[in-house]
Amino acid sequence: MSHAAQELIVTWMWIAIPSAICGAAAASSKNAKVPGAILGFLFGPLGLIAAFGLDEREICPTCHGRLNGQPQLCMHCRSELYWRQN
């Protein structure tokens, strides 16, 4: 492996690892840590930007608003929510 190729790999790792950590942090509030980390690692700063758009939270079946956790009432439309036990 040439010296230039080794420098390129090291430079990419210096960008990819912090981007993966930041991507996971950016997506953690939306229950998407792993996809955020993967996007950050593979695509660097562009993946970090994409990680902000990830959202894997549950959706209210009535108003399609995003839900945090498993609430009994939707915070947007106040409809009652029922959760299946796995």
Q: In this structure, are 44 and 66 located in the same domain?
A: no
Q: Is the pTM of this model over 0.75?
A: no
Q: In this structure, are 64 and 25 located in the same domain?
A: no
Q: Which residue has the higher pLDDT, 1 or 4?
A: 4
pLDDT digits (tens, 9 = 90+) for 31-50: 888 888 998 899 888 887 88
Give the residue-averaged pLDDT of 27-31. Answer: 82
Residue 86 is predicted with a pLDDT of 63
Q: In this structure, are residues 38 and 20 in contact, taking their beta carbons and an 8 Å threshold? A: yes
Rounded CA-CA distance 18/50 in Å is 15
Residue 7 is predicted with a pLDDT of 92
Rounded to the nearest integer, the mean pLDDT of the chain is 85
Question: Nearest 5 degrees, angle CA 59-CA 61-CA 67?
Answer: 30
Residue 44 is predicted with a pLDDT of 86
Q: In this structure, are residues 47 and 37 in contact, taking their beta carbons and an 8 Å threshold? A: no
Q: In this structure, are 47 and 8 located in the same domain?
A: yes
Domain, as residue range, for 75? 57-86
Q: In this structure, are residues 64 and 57 in contact, taking their beta carbons and an 8 Å threshold? A: no
Q: In this structure, are 64 and 36 located in the same domain?
A: no
3-state class of 75 per DSSP? coil
CA atoms within 13 A on the CB side of 4: 0
